[in-house]
Chain A
Amino acid sequence: MLDLSVIIAVSLVYLGLLFAVAWWGDQRADRGRSLIANPSTYALSMAVYCTTWTFYGSVGRAAVSGIGFLPVYLGPTLVMALGWFLLLKMIRIVKANRITSIADFISSRYGKSHRLGGLVTIIAVVGVIPYIALQLKAVSSSISLLLGYPDIVMPGRSATTSVAADISFYVALILAAFTIVFGTRHLDATERHEGMVAAIALESCVKLVSFTAVGVFVTYGMYNGFGDIFQRALDDPSLRQLLGAVPSGQGYTSWFSLLFLSAMALLFLPRQFQIAVVENVNEEHLRRAAWLFPLYLLLINLFVLPIALGGLLHFAGQGVDADTFVLTLPMALRHEGLVLLVFIGGLSAGTGMVIVETIALSTMVCNDLVMPLLLRSHKTLLDDSRDLSRLLLTIRRGAIALILLLGYLYFRLAGEAYALVAIGLISFSAVAQFAPALIGGMYWRGGTRGGAMAGLSAGFLVWAYTLLLPSFAKSGWLPADFLTQGLFGIDLLRPQQLFGLTGVDEISHCLFWSFFANIGAYVGVSLLRPPMVAEATQATVFVDALKDTGQRGAALWRGRARVGDLRDLVGRFLGPGRAQTAFAAFAKRHGAGSADEMEADARLVQFAESLLAGAIGSASARVMVASVAKEEPLSIEEVMNILDEASQLRSYSRELERKSRQLQAATTELQEANERLKELDRVKDDIMSSVTHELRTPLTSIRAFSELLHDDPKMHLADRQRFLGLVVSETERLTRLINQTLDLAKIESGRADWNGCELDLTEVIDRSVAATSQLFREKEAQVIVDLPENSPLILADRDRLIQVMLNLLSNAVKFLTPGSGEVRVRLRVLGEALEVSVADNGPGIRPEDQQLIFEKFRQVGDTMTAKPSGTGLGLPISRRIVEHFGGRLWVESAVGEGATFRFTLPLTSARQPLEAGPA
């Protein structure tokens, strides 16, 4: 059932669907409800990177070199992950200058040079034509394979060659027609094609679904999953070697070359530049594309190895080309539905590439090659007031047809000698030649038009000599001697062992020599003379693209023009209606009622030029605008002055920004310091207010007793002794109070001194109990100490822990009933901590007081007799000491049942730094 009529019908229906989507996308765009204002659409459209090369060729490559198909996808992944800032800068520049293509970009950077734009266009067309040929080859092979169904007949083998060639000719014709209808229905000022982008995003989905379907079919339908396929491959001696193919030596060189080339291709292939840069509607979309696009690459590569291995196993010895496995495997199993799906997937991959590539190339050919020539040879075009928009469209349509025809020719000449991947790499190497002039132009102000011309030409010539011509030679169109003997029989000029460079693959060889020539010429010639006015102006616009928001271009134009002239000029290329609308919008933006009221100043001239640039390229636009606006040329000194002023202003403002940042930082620091001071002040106030109260109390007694003693010299000796004793003890209380207040203030403000050392808690307890033995003896109380044999050492401050123990012991003894008092001191090891408890059999503490006793100056005592003689600071200080070492101090008690104070010290505190407070 897979005869020609079915294939044609399916293809046409599919192309019709694409066209419908594109038409719908354009309609939506016209109504301002963009279909592609969506980061996922953007990321998917970038997958136009995956052509038939990926769809059919990856499997072919994998069948020869195992994982050798991967670097071509790792390169773009690296660019998206690490080089996104390049894309971002390119997008900014393109938007600010209404650049329409990569040729326009480079020509604009080096002073809007016609020649440079033309050269880039030629390189792009010549370089990309093999790649287009590749798509024709893949699509036509797939058709001729289908025609052989149910037999599997390899196309390109003698008898069928003419058939395949005929098919590819018709494919080229149909694609040309389709692309013309698709991409050149009208002329857009910004050269953006929303409908096309939507259709391309759809095609990316179709490719992925179709390829994954084959992958699943082969992996799980023909075999029992990944494990099965790999196991069978390992069992086969010839395949085992393939799986073990790890790059080494020459392999590394070629991996590096492929990584580098594919990274450059993602940036500089005309269609990638078109999709990723020109068609970008929002630079925020880059964010999602940065992971979604690499994810797409990962997914579409997931089943490459299984299909390759499955094909090699299935067709072992049958001479089936591995490039066709994706299609021939379902064919061999008579799975017609899947066969058609694969065909559609391959068609998607091919048409997507051809459409975008030829549209991008036709724009370049029209704007940067044909228009400049027309402007030069037919001066009358300028004076004539005809509407030129139709002429532009005709040029573009012609260019599309011509490019596809050239693709067909290359296919006839060289296509049969190469595998899909090899053809693609020839194109990659060509567009990589744009890298020095383009990247250099975005970051180096010193690059000149001459440098760019020299670099591009040198790189292009070396590329043609080392890759393009050999591809002709290998297909017999040039004498084979050229390859083996070198040009004119000179050994050193052998194109793929140039100057004796051997031991690397042809791609790495070309990359090395072409970049050597390209970069050398670019930098060398650029350094010969300083940039001229136009170059310096554009260098600033490009290099500063990320920091500049102002319209520098406008500041660098001086002259006279008439609004009407400008509008008419723009109208001739864009159509009068569009020109009218654009000028009215511009007038409104700048606060004028209509365009006619406006002065034709630098801004308006700049605006008109950018409108034109969108249609005919920046170099031609400048020439056209110059024809109606009388520009008074600026001298290089004047331009430099303007640029200098601007750069001085920029450096002033940078300096100001820096100062203001410093000031802000200082202010923040001061604020923090101030907050801290305020906090300290509050703590101090708190303490002072409590302290004055606590100081006044003992002072009251001291003063009263002193006055009594003073006023009554004849007081009884017993009273006198008693009062003096009380004065002394109140004085001691005052001293203690002052010491502890200072101590607590230090701890709270973080300025306490902590002397850490490894210590044994049992020793601390023993010493504390010994020190308080006198107190216990006075109350006739007993101390029972219960310590373990061995207790782990901890890192803490010995004196501070003794202070805590003394406080707990003296508190305990204070409340004991004389005669029957008992205090138990216990140390236990609890997993990660040590716990010390001090239990008394005193009156106990009421639940509501159990928190209060840890507050400053809060003492709990019911009666005058029980009134403690402490300062009310002992427990708060103890708690802070324990907490400083990471532990906890609390009380457990019930009225009438005594009180137990416990504290823990974590064993991990041994590893904590003690310098919590400044030493």
Chain B
Amino acid sequence: MSKKILIADDEQNIVISIEFLLRREGFDVQVAGDGEEALAKVRGEKPDLVLLDVMMPKMNGFDVCQAVRADPDLSDTRILMLTAKGRDTEVSKGLGLGADGYMTKPFSTKELLAEVRKLLGM
């Protein structure tokens, strides 16, 4: 059974590229275009890993992360934050809210895959 990954980002082209990349590697990929949709899909689809953009409409990545961590049913969900703001404060804020990893845009696809595999214990 392949691992299920949710990509949450409002940038369509980023979603297309990551979706293509992860599908090619054999993952089961879901996508969400804003924070609320992302949280709903985390609850509904129970993905193993969420690639979570910080700057999203309706609900930002930090809030989604916090909500997921607050839900005991979702304790197994890994969260990898993706952000275009690479400052140290942003990184520590994400990790402080319970994210499992943090990547700064733009990233290399190889590093992303490596991080995804690491978080999924593969």
In the assembled complex, which residues on chain A have CB atoms less than 8 Å from the CB atom of B104? 696
B95 at the interface (CB under 8 A from A): no
Known: A711-B109, A719-B20, A863-B34. A693 touches B11 (CB 8 A): no
The B22-75 residues at the A interface (CB cut-off 8 A) are: 24, 33-34, 55, 57-58
B34/A862 in contact, CB under 8 A = yes
Nearest chain B residue, comparing its CB with the CB of A707: B109
Please give the number of chain B residues whose Cβ is less than 8 angstroms from any Cβ of chain A in the complex: 27
Other than the given A694-B84, A700-B84, A862-B57, 6 more pairs (CB < 8 A) read A696-B105, A699-B106, A700-B106, A704-B17, A719-B20, A861-B10
Majority DSSP secondary structure for residues of A touching B: helix
B11/A703 in contact, CB under 8 A = no
A864/B84 in contact, CB under 8 A = no
A588 at the interface (CB under 8 A from B): no
In the assembled complex, which residues on chain B have CB atoms less than 8 Å from the CB atom of A701? 11, 13-14, 16-17
The A694-710 residues at the B interface (CB cut-off 8 A) are: 694, 696-705, 707-708
A699/B105 in contact, CB under 8 A = yes
Known: A693-B84, A864-B10, A864-B15. A700 touches B20 (CB 8 A): no
A726 at the interface (CB under 8 A from B): yes
B3 at the interface (CB under 8 A from A): no
B10/A702 in contact, CB under 8 A = no
B108 at the interface (CB under 8 A from A): yes
The smallest C-beta distance from B41 to any residue of chain A, in angstroms, reads 13
Q: Contacting B12 at CB < 8 Å: which of A703, A712, A867? A: A867
B110 at the interface (CB under 8 A from A): yes
In the assembled complex, which residues on chain B have CB atoms less than 8 Å from the CB atom of A698? 13
A730 at the interface (CB under 8 A from B): yes
In whole angstroms, what is the CA distance A107 to B105 when docked? 94
B16/A861 in contact, CB under 8 A = no
Interface string of A677-697 (1 = CB under 8 A from B): 000000000000000111011
In whole angstroms, what is the CA distance A860 to B11 when docked? 13
In whole angstroms, what is the CA distance A692 to B34 when docked? 21
B105/A697 in contact, CB under 8 A = yes
B106/A704 in contact, CB under 8 A = yes
Nearest chain B residue, comparing its CB with the CB of A862: B57
B21 at the interface (CB under 8 A from A): yes
The smallest C-beta distance from B111 to any residue of chain A, in angstroms, reads 10
In the assembled complex, which residues on chain A have CB atoms less than 8 Å from the CB atom of B24? 712
In whole angstroms, what is the CA distance A698 to B12 when docked? 10
B91 at the interface (CB under 8 A from A): no
Cβ-closest 9 pairs across A and B:
A704-B17, A864-B33, A696-B84, A701-B13, A700-B106, A700-B105, A699-B106, A707-B109, A703-B106
Known: A701-B17, A705-B17. A864 touches B105 (CB 8 A): no
A867/B14 in contact, CB under 8 A = no
The smallest C-beta distance from B122 to any residue of chain A, in angstroms, reads 19
The smallest C-beta distance from A738 to any residue of chain B, in angstroms, reads 16
Nearest chain A residue, comparing its CB with the CB of B86: A696
Known: A697-B14, A864-B15. A702 touches B33 (CB 8 A): no
Interface string of A147-186 (1 = CB under 8 A from B): 0000000000000000000000000000000000000000
In the assembled complex, which residues on chain B have CB atoms less than 8 Å from the CB atom of A694? 84
In the assembled complex, which residues on chain B have CB atoms less than 8 Å from the CB atom of A700? 11, 14, 84, 105-107
A704/B21 in contact, CB under 8 A = yes
The smallest C-beta distance from B117 to any residue of chain A, in angstroms, reads 16
In the assembled complex, which residues on chain A have CB atoms less than 8 Å from the CB atom of B85? 692-693
The smallest C-beta distance from A726 to any residue of chain B, in angstroms, reads 5
Nearest chain A residue, comparing its CB with the CB of B103: A700
The A716-756 residues at the B interface (CB cut-off 8 A) are: 719, 723, 726, 730
The B82-116 residues at the A interface (CB cut-off 8 A) are: 84-86, 104-110
In the assembled complex, which residues on chain B have CB atoms less than 8 Å from the CB atom of A862? 34, 57-58
Q: Which of A701, A730, A867 neighbours the largest number of chain B CB atoms within 10 Å of its CB?
A: A701
B18 at the interface (CB under 8 A from A): yes
In whole angstroms, what is the CA distance A726 to B16 when docked? 10
Q: Which of A700, A719, A867 neighbours the largest number of chain B CB atoms within 10 Å of its CB?
A: A700
Sample of 21 A–B contacts (CB below 8 Å): A692-B85, A694-B84, A696-B84, A696-B104, A699-B106, A700-B105, A701-B11, A701-B13, A701-B14, A701-B17, A703-B107, A704-B14, A704-B106, A707-B110, A708-B21, A708-B109, A719-B20, A723-B17, A862-B34, A864-B15, A867-B33
The smallest C-beta distance from A714 to any residue of chain B, in angstroms, reads 12
In whole angstroms, what is the CA distance A699 to B105 when docked? 8
In the assembled complex, which residues on chain B have CB atoms less than 8 Å from the CB atom of A703? 106-109
In whole angstroms, what is the CA distance A696 to B122 when docked? 29
In whole angstroms, what is the CA distance A849 to B44 when docked? 30
In the assembled complex, which residues on chain B have CB atoms less than 8 Å from the CB atom of A693? 55, 84-85
In whole angstroms, what is the CA distance A484 to B10 when docked? 117
In whole angstroms, what is the CA distance A723 to B17 when docked? 8
The smallest C-beta distance from B56 to any residue of chain A, in angstroms, reads 11
In the assembled complex, which residues on chain B have CB atoms less than 8 Å from the CB atom of A697? 11, 14, 84, 105
In the assembled complex, which residues on chain B have CB atoms less than 8 Å from the CB atom of A708? 17, 20-21, 109
In the assembled complex, which residues on chain A have CB atoms less than 8 Å from the CB atom of B14? 697, 700-701, 704
Nearest chain B residue, comparing its CB with the CB of A693: B84
In the assembled complex, which residues on chain A have CB atoms less than 8 Å from the CB atom of B15? 864
